[in-house]
Amino acid sequence: MVDSNTLKELLDSHSLAQQSVVNLKNKRFVYPELKAMLRQRAFVGLAGVRGVGKTVLLRQLASELKNSMYLSADSLPAGADLFGIIKDLSSGFGKKWFLIDEIHGVQAWQQSLKKIYDFLPVKVVFTSSASVDIIQSKYDLSRRVVILPVKPFTFREYLFFKHGIRAKRLILERVLHDYKKLYPLYAPYEHYYDEFCRLAIPSMLDSPLPQTIDNILEKIINNDLMKYGRLDASDLLNARNAISFIANSP
């Protein structure tokens, strides 16, 4: 049984999460695919690099789904019993959809998800900044989890979010056969391409500074590679140097 103060704090955090996306009317193009996956019995894991908008996707779901509950694993008490928390929120408050952000912050979360899947009448969508963790869970949890990759913006998606331009989707076969007809239609967007190459991470829309991408890379190198790559200090230095070389190559 989870104490009442903890449950109240979690419910308050859920309300704040919903409020944070009230003015975010636009949704990533992957959102309809995510909604469609919710019809399956399996839980859904969102895999993607830091900054691609996984947290926003969860909060938008929390605002749309009835009887939903947004949980940030970062804010759960140390040693929290995820199964117990979800059980109490389900039985006591009628919550059916659990949207768990940064699930890697919960100790032994794979085992908790397995138990939740097997014994509770709820659905879970979860994220982790460590995509390796999410992808590995697909094998650890077998049929219980499906993975949805969340990638940086495509050029078409960038035009929509940054400039409000609704460019039609193209398939490669049509480009190869009808490029002469298509070029006049898409040429007006060409001057946005260099900008797109620098700002293709959704989090950079609000903070289009070099430090933003630097911070993302530092967290990947210092946190994710160190934890999951079994690398030492010299390996991390080589990783930084390799990224710097690629970034500065013409």
**pLDDT of 242 strictly over 80:** yes
Q: What is the mean pLDDT of residues 149-159?
A: 96
Nearest to 189 by CA among 173, 167, 162: 167
**pLDDT of 160 strictly over 70:** yes
Q: In the chain, at which residue ranges do the beta strands (DSSP E only) sit? A: 43-47, 68-72, 97-101, 123-127, 145-149
Report pLDDT digits (tens) over 180-233: 999 999 999 999 999 999 899 999 988 877 888 888 888 888 887 777 667 788
**Reported pTM:** 0.89
Q: What is the mean pLDDT of residues 142-165?
A: 94
142-180: b or e for each residue (b if 16 or more CB lie within 10 Å)? eebbebbebebbeebbbbbbbeeeebeeeeeeeeeeeee
Q: Please give the mean pLDDT across all residues of the chain.
A: 91
User: How high is the pLDDT of residue 123?
Assistant: 98
User: How high is the pLDDT of residue 229?
Assistant: 66
Q: What is the mean pLDDT of residues 16-42?
A: 96
What values do phi and psi take at 127, rounded to 5? -130, 165
| 3 state SS of 146 | strand
Q: What is the mean pLDDT of residues 149-166?
A: 96
User: How high is the pLDDT of residue 230?
Assistant: 72
pLDDT above 90 covers what percent of the chain? 66
Q: What is the mean pLDDT of residues 57-62?
A: 98
**pLDDT of 246 strictly over 70:** yes
Nearest to 209 by CA among 199, 219, 217: 199
User: How high is the pLDDT of residue 62?
Assistant: 97
**pLDDT of 75 strictly over 80:** yes
The pair of structure tokens assigned to 165 is 């331009």
